Amino acid sequence: MTKKKIAILGSTGSIGKQTLEIIKKDKHNFNVVLLSTNSNIDEISKQIKIFKPKAVIITDKNKFIQFQKSNKKLKVFNNYLCFKKVFLKKIDYVMNSISGFDGLQPTIEIIKYTKLIALANKESIICGWNLINAELRKSKTKFVPVDSEHFSIWTLIENYNQEIDEIFITASGGPFLNIKRKKLKEVKPEHAIKHPKWKMGKKISIDSATMVNKLFELIEAKKIFNISIKKIKILSHPNSYVHAIVKFKNGVTKILIHDTNMKIPILNTLYLNKSARINSKKIDIKKLNNLNFNHLSIRQFPSLGLINLFNFKKNSLLETVLVSANDELVDLFLKKKIKFLDISDKLISILKLNEFKKLRTKKPNNLAQIMHLNRYVRLKTRALCVRSISNV
């Protein structure tokens, strides 16, 4: 049997490593041809010994030079413009788990070289979905979202030809679900990164605490599934047992449940439409009897109210402003330059600036335009925060 040819972008991050753990248990069915990292050459060196890829990408220039000197027999590249040198024809599967804006260019560049792309990069979908979708159609490449919520929705509606009435995305609520907002004034980064259910990186953990990640997921769902934003709702669900609920016009409602384990959506994208096996917990009757769904309060999580600022009749550059400003604000909070509540308060103020509000009707035309705006918004956000700090 022919092995599936696999490329993993961001192989040294959490999603990348979990993808490789699954492949390692079934190496006779998979052939890893490409791995990439920014600077973690120690981890990728371990991966190379096990999976023996055809090529490797190291984007940090100093680490690239260091790595290249000791790996002269391996094809090593320093950027994501190398795919035509690596792939003679389409491979079977790409996992793009690069975090942040760094994942956008590789997403667009690699689509034409793969039959299927599994995408775990929020920024790509939120800021450049129209560009990605155009490439997907042009290259006839299949797309599967990896985030648990969007993978769940995708699973529920795939091959079910019925009109959707409404979609519910669930949220654990993060560490501060039941704590009044006024008591969060002195929250420190070490408190905000302690997610009650998921083991995640610092950035995504802060986004979960502010509920910005659910704002992102609303926007992602609207774009991926081409559905009215009014049909997509968020429910708090501290057990994190149900990941999505879809109600159809024909009266059928589907609910998807799985353990809080990202290997489940990853595995199902790797073995798409084929039998796959993973160790998972038995159905928890206690959890089923106590699903505990509730609507989230905008007063408690003001970032959720930002959804009303966007024009979802088409993709816009305002989505890039949202992601870029939030990235910078989270970074400032982690460095203890601003307070926790400043993240959502300042994000609202920035999105309401006249120079950015007018972008809600302007569609991204190309990658360069998005990246330029990203840099400008980051600088503007930092400048505004530094100015407000100096005035205190």
Claim to verify: residue 289 and residue 324 sit in the same structural domain = no
Domain that holds residue 208: 171-256+271-305
Question: Taking Cα atoms as reference points, which of 197, 308, 321 lies closest to residue 259?
Answer: 197
Q: Could you tell me the CATH number of the domain that includes residue 37?
A: 3.40.50.720
**pTM of the entire structure?**
0.91
* pLDDT, tens digit, 9 for 90 and up, residues 247-288: 999 999 999 999 888 999 999 999 987 888 888 888 889 889
Claim to verify: residue 297 and residue 316 sit in the same structural domain = no
Q: What is the mean pLDDT of the chain?
A: 92
Claim to verify: residue 233 and residue 340 sit in the same structural domain = no
Q: What's the CA gap between 145 and 320, in Å, rounded? A: 19
Claim to verify: residue 294 and residue 361 sit in the same structural domain = no
For the chain, the domain total comes to 3
**Is residue 101 situated within a structural domain?**
yes
Per cent of the chain over pLDDT 70 is: 98
Q: What is the pLDDT of residue 313?
A: 79
Amino acid letter, residue 103: G
**Is residue 372 situated within a structural domain?**
yes
**Is residue 391 situated within a structural domain?**
yes
Amino acid letter, residue 102: D
Claim to verify: residue 10 and residue 95 sit in the same structural domain = yes
Q: What's the CA gap between 190 and 193, in Å, rounded? A: 6
Claim to verify: residue 300 and residue 316 sit in the same structural domain = no
347: confidence class by pLDDT, cuts 50, 70, 90: very high
Q: Could you tell me the CATH number of the domain that includes residue 324?
A: 1.10.1740.10
**Is residue 165 situated within a structural domain?**
no
Claim to verify: residue 46 and residue 175 sit in the same structural domain = no
Instruction: Please provide the DSSP assignment of 3-37 as one string.
Output: PEEEEEETTTSHHHHHHHHHHHTTGGGEEEEEEEE
**Is residue 175 situated within a structural domain?**
yes
Q: Which two tokens stand for residue 318?
A: 């305002």
**Is residue 151 pLDDT above 70, yes or no?**
yes
**Is residue 53 situated within a structural domain?**
yes
Q: Which two tokens stand for residue 210?
A: 């502010």
Claim to verify: residue 363 and residue 336 sit in the same structural domain = yes
Burial grade of 178 (CB within 10 A; 0-12, 13-18, 19 or more) = exposed
Claim to verify: residue 184 and residue 277 sit in the same structural domain = yes
Claim to verify: residue 35 and residue 135 sit in the same structural domain = yes
Claim to verify: residue 285 and residue 192 sit in the same structural domain = yes
Query: Taking the CB of residue 294, how many other CB atoms lie within 10 A of it?
Result: 12
Mapping DSSP onto H, E and C, the string for 88-123 reads CCCECEEEECCCHHHHHHHHHHHHHHECEEEECCHH
**Is residue 92 situated within a structural domain?**
yes
Amino acid letter, residue 332: L
* pLDDT, tens digit, 9 for 90 and up, residues 155-213: 999 989 899 999 999 998 888 888 888 888 888 999 888 877 766 778 888 999 999 99
